[in-house]
Amino acid sequence: MPPSRHLSPLPAALAQLPDAPRLYLRLEVFVKQELVPTSKPDASLASRIFNEIESIGTAVTQAQIARQNAQSNTIPPSGPGSQPSLGYDILDAHYDSLKYERRYLSIVYYQIARLGYFSPNEVQKSIDWLAANPNDATMSYILAATLAAFDSAEPHSFPGKVRKNLATDKGTITYMKRQLAPNTYWKEPGLKATILLKWTLFMAET
């Protein structure tokens, strides 16, 4: 089971309210320390969710092909060692389930970005993915997450400090200059222009 299957950053968001219950404050500490270790980007919750989104995308494609080639009814095994042939209704339900799971994980990915838990690693992964997958079903979620990572935040808050580090990270600045350069190819130039505009505003405000 993916580590993010039943997790949501909502308690971390509620913990930022002035009258937040003590439970939400303790959950926020847990999320920061255990679930989203931004100092170890490859092991962060956001990175694991992103990898799962990509993995399920492959499964969705395979499920779609199986659904298109399915028979009307499920055929049980004819004997020992034989395999059943799943009917269209079962394969269609499986296809819809995978799409739902991928969409849900994409929403969680956006929430993590909005709360300020994106490291330079997640930003770069998202932008590389957007440059190559403009027509993917989850493109709007990944785009929203990337833009949210560049939102302004109160400077002394945790999201504000993360965004400050992002704006001053030399590796990120070098990467953004290269990826948003006029001669860098994107399949959808409109996405590149959108990211460039948001990044420019982010650097001007931070």
Contact (CB, 8 A) for 6 and 104: no
Which bin fits 116, alpha (ψ -120 to 50), beta or left (φ > 0)? left
**What's the CA gap between 37 and 43, in Å, rounded?**
7
Domain residue spans in the chain? 10-75+84-205
Token pair of 195, please? Answer: 């990211």
Coil, strand or helix: which one is 94? helix
Per-residue pLDDT of the chain (206 residues; tens, 9 = 90+): 344 444 455 555 666 666 777 777 777 777 766 656 555 656 688 888 999 999 999 999 999 998 888 777 766 666 576 666 777 888 889 999 999 999 999 999 998 898 888 888 899 999 999 999 999 999 999 999 999 999 988 888 777 888 888 899 999 999 999 999 999 999 999 999 999 999 999 999 87
What is this structure's pTM? 0.80
Q: How far is CA 183 from the centre of its chain?
A: 27
Cβ density class 81-109: b for 16+ within 10 Å, e for less: eeeeebebeebbebbeebbebbebbbebb
Token pair of 201, please? Answer: 């505003």
